[in-house]
Structure 1
Amino acid sequence: MQTESEVRSLAPATQGIGHTVRLTGWIAFWVQLGLAVVSGIALLVAATGRGFADQANPGLGVGIFWAVCAVLVLLFGVYWDYRYTRIGKSLENLNPALHPSKADTTKAIRLAIIVSLVGILLAILGAGATVAVLVAKSISQPPGVAITDPNKIIRALDVFVMLGNITAITGNFLGTITSIWLLEQVHKH
């Protein structure tokens, strides 16, 4: 059992890393939540707008699918950021019995890194499918001639799918960077 003086000597270091984890968790939470909302709205506009178009573009459906998967992973990352705030709060507690172990904290951060990397991969797949459709549409348009086939026109809804994918990549990337930084901070203490 630790003496009171040993607990006091450990408290500032543990409270310092606890504050860092909690503050970083809140910052990442709000930034990633904002990016998830922007991506979700862009995909919602793209998906609902496709229903109003005369000719649906089946190639963009794949891009929307992967983007939605990436946004769901991003929302899990938002939840994990909130979990960081709880881990930080428990580390700030003066009672060392309530502190999560360094191994548990490291394990949680590593899981967040893996999840964010999966989110990046999913969003890249969606962005790749969307770019392929946009490139195919752009090169199928003859230069200087009026376009008679409406399927060959790049519509704003097509670009919204790309916006959703890029925003999901950004959000998951920020989650990865945040978790890597936190992992480094935890290993220092």
Structure 2
Amino acid sequence: MQAQSEVHTVNPKLERIANILRLVSWVSLWLQLGLGAASVLMLIFAISGRSFNQAVTPTPGAPGVVPGVVPGVNYNQETIPGVNISIFWGVCGIIALLFTSYLAFRITRFAKRLRHPDSSLHPKKADVMKVLRIAVIAGFVGMLLTILGGGSGLGVLLSKSIAQPQGVAIYDPTRIIRSLDIFVAMASMTGITAHYVGTAAALGLFNWLHPEL
């Protein structure tokens, strides 16, 4: 116990660095997980809603077709493929977010080891900086993927709003701005926010730790 007290007294700088690493990394991790979970739920709602709409849409010419709908139009077919593209990039962004969350968790383990009284168990500066550098790069890649998804989703909303004349709900239901289109766009925006939080935390720690360790 006396040896441990001496180590902690001699190395208050390491204690401070470990506390900041732990605090920032845990906050970043939980924010990323929370925003990522919200993005996943939105994507699930969008995918399940799209599948449900395709399942319940009647076949043209079959009994039960709504009067006034133009016959001969396949309403199961997406007229704008941007939704599928947006969902794809959104899923890629979620995968990248899981990786950056894992890196944030690794930083918390480094902080725990840094507080250990045995200096031989302390992580090397090169290892900590390497993980932070990878986290920054992965965060930028994840933001790029989710930006592509968000751009595709917003493009769908824009094209549908422009091509939506008076009475479009009667003549061409496929041009209606549906809630699933908005869910996809919101999922991408939430994913971008999650990646921004992780990237900002990793970049801030990287710049702060470089002269400290």
State whether residues 36 and 94 of structure 2, in contact with CA within 8 Å, keep that contact through their aligned partners in structure 1.
yes
Q: Which residue of 1 aligns with 2:128?
A: 105
CA distance in 2, matches of 1:65, 1:96: 46
Counterpart-to-counterpart distance in 1, 2:9 and 2:138: 36
- Measured in 1, the distance between the counterparts of 2:157 and 2:188 equals 14
User: Displacement of 1:19 after TM fit?
Assistant: 1.1
Identical aligned residues as a percent: 41
Of the three residues 152, 159, 162, the one matched with 2:175 is 152
Higher helix share: 1
Stretches of structure 1 that go unaligned for 5 or more consecutive residues are: none
- Residue number in structure 2 paired with 1:187: 210
Report the CA distance between 1:185 and its aligned residue.
2.2
Q: What number of residue pairs does the alignment pair up?
A: 184
Displacement after TM superposition at 1:10 (Å):
5.4
Q: In the alignment, what sits opposite 2:88?
A: 65
User: Kindly tell me: are residues 10 and 107 of structure 1, through their superposed partners in 2, closer, same or farther at Cα, counting changes over 3 Å?
Assistant: farther
Aligned to 1:120: 143
**Which ranges in structure 2 are unaligned for 5 or more consecutive residues?**
58-75
1:45 match: 45
Distance 1:21 1:56 in 2: 51
Which residue, 157, 160, 165 being the options, matches 1:134? 157
TM-score by length of 2: 0.82
Structure 2 counterpart of 1:27: 27
Scaled by the length of structure 1, the TM-score of the pair is: 0.92
* Deviation at residue 188 of structure 1 after TM alignment: 3.2
Cα distance, 1:56 vs structure 2: 5.1
Q: Which has the larger radius of gyration?
A: 2
120-129 vs 7-16, greater mean Cα deviation: 7-16
**Secondary structure of 2:208's match?**
helix
